[in-house]
Amino acid sequence: MSEITLVDAVNMGLASEMEADPNVVVFGEDVGVNGGVFRATANLQKRFGSQRVFDTPLSETLIAGMSVGMAVEGLKPVAEIQFMGFVYSAIDQLINHASRIRNRTRGRLSCPMVLRVPFGGGIHAPEHHSESTEAIFAHIPGLRVVIPSSPSRAYGLLLAAIRDPDPVIFMEPIRVYRLVKQEVADNGEAQPLDVCFLLREGTDVTLVSWGAMIQEAMTAAEKLAESGVNAEVIDVATIKPLDMQTILDSVAKTGRCVIVHEAARTCGVGAEIAAQLSEQGLMSLFAAVERVTGYDTVMPLFNLEKEYMPGVDRIITAVKRTLEG
Amino acid sequence: MTSQNVKIVKKKHTAFVLDQQQVRSSVHFKILFHQILNADGLIVDNLPEFARQSEQLIALYRVMVKTRLFDEKAVSLQRRGQLGTYASSLGQEAIGAAIGSAMAEDDVLFPGYREYAAQFLRGVTMTDILLYWGGNEQGMNFKWQQYDFPICVPIASQAPQAVGAAYAMKLRDENRVVVCVVGDGATSKGDFYEAINAAGTWGLPIVFIINNNGWAISMPREAQTRAKTLAQKAIAAGFPGEQVDGNDVIILKHRIGQALSKARCGAGPTLIEALTYRLCDHTTADAASRYRSEHELKEQWQYEPLRRLKSYLHKIGCWSDLDEQNLLASCHEQIEKAVNQYLDTPSQPPESMFDYLYQSIPASLKEQRKSVIHWSKNSV
């Protein structure tokens, strides 16, 4: 078993599920011959043919809408939106149709589709390529929002997303695409949706994060350990529906919580986690819940993206504030 | 472009070769208008085979009459506070009737919201439609129709979905076709353009039908686009478009039938622009008198689809006043039954808003579900 990157793991997951289930189809802009701008769909067309792996015209509304039509007709569409900044014209289909066709028809029709969207900053990409707008999708009832943070998680969660009977927005952190390598077995085994993963056990503070920010959270935890602070790190993974119990259990143990996300602060998913902590975990808390997030600004062009994105120092400082309380 | 800078392009992965001949030649297209049964009930073109069988015409007439009476009843229920906002199909019954009778059972219909006649012929019940507009999701849980999509309110958003369903049929090499119905207003939306473009690109088994009833709420057809026809939009998408008299059920069924056969044998999509008129308000929440002249409305009544068919049936001696009386009585009886069934259907239980959101309820929603049950019992 060789070590692979997150984008390789996505590719391996797609191939594995296409092999296992003839109903899986993969499409989007430049995903066919070109293999995707990030190479996530490389060689899939060669292997599975141009009917099951195909390029669409430049039409994001179409990509989302046809996913709905295909899913209701019994296919398992796994569509790619090239970059986060292009997903917004697909939102009409997600809010008005994908997320509610099961409910509207009382279960007569359903929509098992996956929309893959690369997101996040940190790779000096052009304008409109680097935002983290997962909260928009998390706000839509009926959707699942899943964000892997590592190659192994990407493989296992993607399989689960494709097998899930309901629509999943699968957001892939661009910065981690080739940042880390991991041994991932191509064994067709899915990892569970709707649960958080405990990445590091600790006793003094709970760091809650997802996606690329897991890198910073883990580094901060290592550094904190040097000064004797033992941080627990939780990878939320499924942003919606949110597994609050795992976070509550951790905070019951540590008494402190710092939520780290790259997305803008106001109405970010961190706000929801903090609100639920105050509703259900207040008595466990020794200090106010801290959020370390992107700013409530437009994502800057890449000269300033490092300033925008939460770094290890900001996390450590927030943790220290909770310890002072 | 001169011949010097025209390149011969031979791409590895496409069959498209741009040659000098193609660049030099102009492209011409025309949009034909088809009609068989005119407003006076006269046959003005060759009768297709099905229309030589009076029982087929009578069947179409029956569903058109039923739909008109149903519409009338639904509007009156709304006026009496027994139904929510309702979108009538008054004047446009021929389009739905033709679609419903031309489609095969396992084809898939993506309706807008004025295709009741098509839905009725495809197994959707009058009770379903009343439940839908009466605020009950069960109205989209068709008992007798497993494939079709429910009514689509966000304009044109059904078109990309229809393309997806047609792609699935083509991929699986099925003998099925998708019919996607939109209004004239929808043809201004990006969804529509993206959908027809992709359908043309892939040669999908799909028929697009535009119910051009002249009005997108208060926006008249002329103010929506400078294009002379809506049918010509298909030309830009690479497949044929045509106009038909949308009040002539014979030409509608004939041309839709041909488009379906063409799609079924792999020859790709067709767009049919059916020219009709919205004799009703946009919905019961609208008052068209604010923006539309009485004169125009009055004039349009002479083209409506039922009278001309009835007059033709009379003329060929297969429809009597007694037949008409019997039909009206039978429709009223069916409608009364549907209304009673609708009024007797209880609301969905409050927790149902959670029960169909996902296949199984996520743990995070269990508390909220309990809460809605609690407050439904304990609120004063």
Which of B19-28, B74-83, B316-325, B370-379 is predicted with the least confidence, judged by mean pLDDT? B19-28
Show me where the domains of chain A are located. Answer: 3-183, 197-324
- The contact set of B with A (CB < 8 A) is 13, 108, 110, 137-138, 140-142, 146, 149-150, 154, 157, 159-169, 171, 178, 190-191, 194-195, 197-198, 201, 348, 352-353, 356-359, 362-365
Instruction: Judge if A3-183 and A197-324 fold alike in CATH terms.
Output: yes
Min distance B166 CA to chain A CA atoms (Å): 8
Q: Is the peptide bond before A241 cis (omega within 30 degrees of 0)?
A: yes
- How crowded is the C-beta side of B275, counted as CA atoms within 13 Å? 17
The model's pTM is: 0.95
Query: Model confidence over B168-213: pLDDT tens digits?
Result: 999 999 999 999 999 999 999 999 999 999 999 999 999 999 999 9
**β-sheet bridge partners, residue A4:** A182
- Give the residue on B whose Cα is nearest the Cα of A68: B161
Query: Model confidence over A77-86: pLDDT tens digits?
Result: 999 999 999 9
Instruction: Return d(Cα B149, Cα A96) in angstroms, integer.
Output: 13
Instruction: Return d(Cα A25, Cα A27) in angstroms, integer.
Output: 7
Q: What is the DSSP letter of A94?
A: I
Helix B93-102 to helix B54-79 angle, to the nearest 10 degrees?
130
Q: CB distance B359–A66 less than 8 Å? A: no
Average pLDDT value over all residues in chain B: 94
Average pLDDT over residues B245-260: 98
Percent of chain B with pLDDT strictly greater than 70: 93
Q: Per-residue pLDDT for B14 more than 70? A: no
- Give the residue on B whose Cα is nearest the Cα of A75: B168
Question: A144-146 and A114-119 as β-strands: parallel, antiparallel, unpaired?
Answer: unpaired
Instruction: Return d(Cα B313, Cα B307) in angstroms, integer.
Output: 10
Predicted local distance difference test score (pLDDT) of residue B167: 98
**β-sheet bridge partners, residue B271:** B208, B241
* Cβ contacts of A165 on chain B, cutoff 8 Å: 358-359
Does residue B291 carry a catalytic annotation? yes
Predicted local distance difference test score (pLDDT) of residue B7: 46
Predicted local distance difference test score (pLDDT) of residue B25: 73
Interface probe, candidates A18, A50, A62, A280, chain B, greatest B C-beta count within 10 A: A62
Predicted local distance difference test score (pLDDT) of residue B20: 53
Q: CB distance A69–B353 less than 8 Å? A: no
Helix %, strand %, coil % of chain B (to 5): 50, 10, 40
Catalytic residue among A97, A124, A128, A129: A129
- How crowded is the C-beta side of A257, counted as CA atoms within 13 Å? 28
Average pLDDT over residues B248-264: 98
* Cβ contacts of B357 on chain A, cutoff 8 Å: 102-103, 141-142
* pLDDT tier for residue A325 given thresholds of 50, 70 and 90: low
* pLDDT tier for residue B5 given thresholds of 50, 70 and 90: very low
A37 with A123: CB under 8 angstroms? no
CA angle at A106 for the pair A100 and A109, rounded to the nearest 5°? 65
Predicted local distance difference test score (pLDDT) of residue B10: 45
Predicted local distance difference test score (pLDDT) of residue B19: 55
Min distance B318 CA to chain A CA atoms (Å): 41
Predicted local distance difference test score (pLDDT) of residue A21: 98
**Closest listed residue to residue B50, CA positions, set B12, B94, B101, B93:** B101
Query: Model confidence over A109-143: pLDDT tens digits?
Result: 999 999 999 999 999 999 999 999 999 999 999 99
Lookup: tokens for B33: 């208008």
| ipTM for the whole predicted complex goes beyond 0.90 | yes
Predicted local distance difference test score (pLDDT) of residue A205: 98
Show me where the domains of chain B are located. Answer: 30-355
Does residue B282 carry a catalytic annotation? yes
* Cβ contacts of A57 on chain B, cutoff 8 Å: 194, 197-198, 201
Query: Model confidence over A218-231: pLDDT tens digits?
Result: 999 999 999 999 99
Query: Model confidence over A19-39: pLDDT tens digits?
Result: 999 999 999 999 999 999 999
Q: Per-residue pLDDT for B81 more than 60? A: yes
Query: Model confidence over A41-51: pLDDT tens digits?
Result: 999 999 999 99
Q: Per-residue pLDDT for B6 more than 50? A: no
Query: Model confidence over B39-50: pLDDT tens digits?
Result: 999 999 999 999
> What is B30-355's CATH number?
3.40.50.970
Q: CB distance B161–A194 less than 8 Å? A: no
Average pLDDT value over all residues in chain A: 97
Predicted local distance difference test score (pLDDT) of residue B9: 43
Percent of chain A with pLDDT strictly greater than 70: 100
Q: Torsion angle, CA of A181/A183/A189/A193, rounded to 10 degrees? A: -40
Lookup: tokens for A78: 């796994």
Q: Is domain A197-324 given the CATH code 3.30.70.3340 in the classification?
A: no
Residue among A69, A93, A106 whose CB faces B141 most closely:
A106
Predicted local distance difference test score (pLDDT) of residue B2: 35
**Closest listed residue to residue B160, CA positions, set A107, A70, A82:** A70
Query: Model confidence over A179-197: pLDDT tens digits?
Result: 999 999 999 999 999 999 9
Per-residue DSSP letters for A253-290? HHS-EEEEEEEESTT-HHHHHHHHHHHHSGGG-SS--E
Min distance B150 CA to chain A CA atoms (Å): 8
> What is A3-183's CATH number?
3.40.50.970
Lookup: tokens for B200: 């043309």
Percent of chain A with pLDDT strictly greater than 90: 99
Average pLDDT over residues B335-340: 98
Establish if A75 touches chain B: CB-CB under 8 angstroms.
yes
Residue among B150, B165, B190 whose CB faces A104 most closely:
B150
Catalytic residue among B291, B332, B356, B374: B291
Establish if A165 touches chain B: CB-CB under 8 angstroms.
yes
Burial B355-366 (b: 16+ CB within 10 A, else e): bbbbeebbebbe
Establish if A166 touches chain B: CB-CB under 8 angstroms.
yes
Q: CB distance A77–B150 less than 8 Å? A: no
Alpha-carbon distance values, B29 to A235, B71, B294 (Å): 59, 39, 37
* pLDDT tier for residue B11 given thresholds of 50, 70 and 90: very low
- 């506070």: which residue's tokens? B81
A120: region left, alpha or beta (phi > 0 left; psi from -120 to 50 alpha): left
Establish if A28 touches chain B: CB-CB under 8 angstroms.
no
